[in-house]
């Protein structure tokens, strides 16, 4: 008898060298569509299913195997398939006892492919339903009624003096569209987000189709926008926000709040402005992003994230970082718990939880020295045939490598990579640059493709992406100018 850890559970197997397939008597995994015909000692042929692959661990060795599911078998069987996969060796002693040993697995790699053994392993969450592990069942909008942040005081909207109320008739739409809008209105009425009222104002509802075939009602509030005083917007530039992501951040979670502008209540004296009896600011109201963003920012002040990690807000989207996976888990759990406690609702479908993939527009840090590079050309005082510098920056250490070049062409980039960077520091996995002609040239991109390098392009003079290399360029120019001045070089 041998004891293995199968799918996280200990299972005792009977070693049966006469069995072609290994057998489990308990459904430790879902049954697959694959089946096999089994012929037992009685000669009867039966059809039995395979289970989904399970991880088996024995004495530190872990392999993945697919078992046959036979609930009518007396004991689990360790057959020849699993014995061969583990390279098991059976030996018998003089007293009749048996020993089960395991051979060593030898890995042979061609010399030209040996560099792949040095590539950093990519970690990620294998569980696609990672949201369940945070245990915030009342936060997800798909399973709960609409959210409402009742702890915020109602917002009073200031009107333009002597403004005449506007009444615009509702346009008719096909029956299926009207019914879709009516279902949403009924839901909001049920949870007191909409209330019946009488008002001299009336603006129409516009059905906006969504990607899944449903419709989202949006109120045409352009007349209301003209009748209210504009609040100075405090919505930050998204590129500036991305620039605030700390360099140490390796893990990220992104949360999208659902129907965010409907969660902040409006004062009763201002409700008459929102035609069709809206009790909350609609997505078409010009001040909604500012009002909601300020309210949410005040709520997030109660969240304490240890440095260097941060929580960044862009209107109703939240980004939380983590320098390590455990830190990102804890920061995300604290954020989700706070949002649930305050009555907000988040979209489970759009949530990106505990991911190493950086948000779009953020330059990630490499996993080891010279794993991820940033490259750019800068000018230099002519020295012999050289009049330019190819600046190569390691995102892991911040180390700049400067290569003097005769021109700013793709051939210079390829020559620097093949003759200087790769022989000295190894093969990088990722390179980023602007979309200049020397970097988008066929020669450069083809070289990256052959070497298996991911080449990311961004716009020239883009602060969040190219700001780091631009700062290095400026520092190099200042140093060169100072040296030339002190040594009287031209």
Q: Round the CA-based radius of gyration of the chain to a whole number and report it.
A: 32
For the chain, percent of residues with pLDDT exceeding 90: 1
Kindly report the CA angle at 354 between 349 and 360, in degrees rounded to 5? 75
If asked whether residues 136 and 256 sit together in one domain, one would say yes
CB contact at 8 A, 68 and 22: yes
Report how far residue 456's alpha carbon sits from residue 246's, in angstroms, rounded to the nearest whole number: 20
Is 391 a domain residue? yes
Catalytic annotation present for 16: yes
Confidence label for 399 from pLDDT (cuts 50, 70 and 90): confident
Chain centroid to CA 92: how far? 54
Single out the residue in 38, 67, 102 at which a domain terminates: 102
Position with higher pLDDT, 225 vs 118: 225
Report how far residue 490's alpha carbon sits from residue 484's, in angstroms, rounded to the nearest whole number: 6
Is 366 a domain residue? no
Is 422 a domain residue? yes
Report how far residue 112's alpha carbon sits from residue 260's, in angstroms, rounded to the nearest whole number: 54
- pLDDT the model gives residue 73: 85
- pLDDT the model gives residue 290: 66
CA distances, 472 to each of 33, 377, 392, 468, 478 (Å): 58, 11, 10, 6, 10
User: pLDDT at residue 326 above 70?
Assistant: yes
- pLDDT the model gives residue 463: 47
If asked whether residues 172 and 306 sit together in one domain, one would say yes
Contacts of 384 (CB under 8 A, 6+ apart): none
- Kindly report the average pLDDT of the chain as a whole number: 77
152-187 pLDDT, tens digit each: 777 777 788 877 887 777 777 787 888 887 887 787
- pLDDT the model gives residue 121: 47
If asked whether residues 181 and 298 sit together in one domain, one would say yes
- pLDDT the model gives residue 127: 46
User: pLDDT at residue 219 above 60?
Assistant: yes
If asked whether residues 409 and 326 sit together in one domain, one would say no
CB contact at 8 A, 119 and 53: no
User: pLDDT at residue 200 above 60?
Assistant: yes
β-strands 317-322, 311-314 pairing: antiparallel
Position with higher pLDDT, 396 vs 123: 396
Is 120 a domain residue? no
Position with higher pLDDT, 250 vs 445: 445
Q: Which of 16, 81, 256, 317 is catalytic?
A: 16
Position with higher pLDDT, 356 vs 112: 356
Single out the residue in 87, 102, 117 at which a domain terminates: 102
If asked whether residues 221 and 348 sit together in one domain, one would say yes
Is 463 a domain residue? yes
If asked whether residues 336 and 217 sit together in one domain, one would say yes
- pLDDT the model gives residue 99: 64
**Percent of the chain that is helix, strand, coil (3-state, to 5):** 30, 25, 45
Our count of domains for the chain comes to 3
If asked whether residues 326 and 192 sit together in one domain, one would say yes
First to last CA, the chain: 84
β-strands 88-92, 77-78 pairing: unpaired
Report how far residue 35's alpha carbon sits from residue 29's, in angstroms, rounded to the nearest whole number: 15
108-128 pLDDT, tens digit each: 667 766 666 665 544 444 445
- The Cβ of residue 455 has, within 10 Å, a number of other Cβ atoms equal to 18
Write out the residue range of the structural domain in which residue 333 sits: 129-359
If asked whether residues 342 and 239 sit together in one domain, one would say yes
Kindly report the CATH number assigned to the domain that includes residue 191: 3.30.70.270
If asked whether residues 190 and 321 sit together in one domain, one would say yes
Is 396 a domain residue? yes
User: pLDDT at residue 282 above 70?
Assistant: no
Query: What DSSP designation does 301 have?
Result: T
If asked whether residues 279 and 234 sit together in one domain, one would say yes
Is 192 a domain residue? yes
């Amino acid at each position: 008898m041998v004891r293995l850890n199968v799918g996280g559970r200990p299972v005792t197997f009977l070693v049966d060298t006469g069995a072609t397939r290994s057998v489990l008597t308990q459904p430790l995994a879902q049954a697959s569509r694959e089946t096999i015909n089994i012929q037992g000692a009685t000669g009867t042929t039966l059809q039995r299913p395979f289970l989904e692959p399970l991880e088996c661990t024995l004495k530190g060795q872990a392999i993945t195997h697919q078992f046959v599911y036979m609930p009518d078998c007396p004991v689990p069987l360790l057959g020849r398939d699993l014995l061969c996969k583990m390279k098991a060796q059976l030996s018998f002693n003089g007293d009749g006892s048996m020993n089960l040993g395991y051979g060593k697995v030898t890995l042979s790699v061609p010399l030209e492919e040996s560099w792949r053994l040095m590539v950093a392993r990519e970690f990620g969450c294998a569980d696609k339903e990672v949201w369940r592990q945070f245990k915030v069942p009342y936060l997800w909008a798909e399973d709960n009624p609409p959210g409402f942040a009742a702890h915020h005081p109602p917002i009073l909207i200031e009107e333009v003096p002597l403004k005449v109320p506007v009444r615009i008739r509702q346009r008719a739409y096909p029956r299926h569209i009207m019914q879709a809008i009516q279902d949403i209105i009924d839901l909001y009425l049920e949870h007191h987000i909409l209330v019946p009222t009488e008002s001299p104002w009336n603006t129409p509802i516009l059905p906006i189709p969504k990607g899944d075939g449903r419709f989202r009602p949006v109120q045409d509030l352009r007349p209301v926008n003209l009748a209210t005083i504009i609040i100075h917007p405090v919505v930050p530039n998204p590129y500036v926000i991305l620039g605030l992501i700390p360099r140490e951040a390796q893990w990220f979670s992104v949360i999208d709040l659902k129907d965010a502008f409907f969660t902040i209540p409006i004062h009763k004296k201002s409700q008459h402005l929102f035609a069709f009896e809206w009790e909350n600011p609609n997505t078409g109201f010009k001040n909604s992003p500012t009002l909601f963003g300020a309210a949410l920012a005040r709520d997030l002040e109660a969240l304490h994230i240890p440095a260097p990690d941060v929580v960044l807000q862009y209107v109703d989207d939240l980004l939380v970082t983590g320098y390590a996976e455990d830190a990102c888990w804890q920061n995300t759990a604290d954020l989700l718990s706070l949002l649930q406690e305050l009555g907000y609702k988040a979209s489970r479908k759009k949530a990106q939880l505990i991911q190493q993939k950086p948000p779009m527009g953020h330059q990630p840090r490499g996993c080891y020295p010279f794993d991820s590079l940033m490259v750019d050309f800068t000018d230099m005082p002519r020295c012999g045939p050289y009049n330019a510098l190819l600046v190569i920056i390691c995102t892991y250490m911040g180390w700049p490598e400067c290569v003097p070049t005769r021109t700013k062409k793709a051939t210079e980039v390829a020559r620097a990579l093949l003759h200087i960077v790769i022989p000295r520091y190894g093969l990088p996995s990722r390179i980023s640059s602007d979309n200049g002609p020397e970097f988008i040239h066929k020669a450069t991109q083809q070289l990256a493709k052959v070497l298996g390098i991911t080449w990311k392009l961004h716009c020239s003079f883009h602060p969040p992406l190219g700001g780091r290399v631009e700062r290095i360029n400026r520092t190099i120019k200042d140093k060169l100018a100072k040296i030339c001045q002190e040594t009287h070089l031209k």
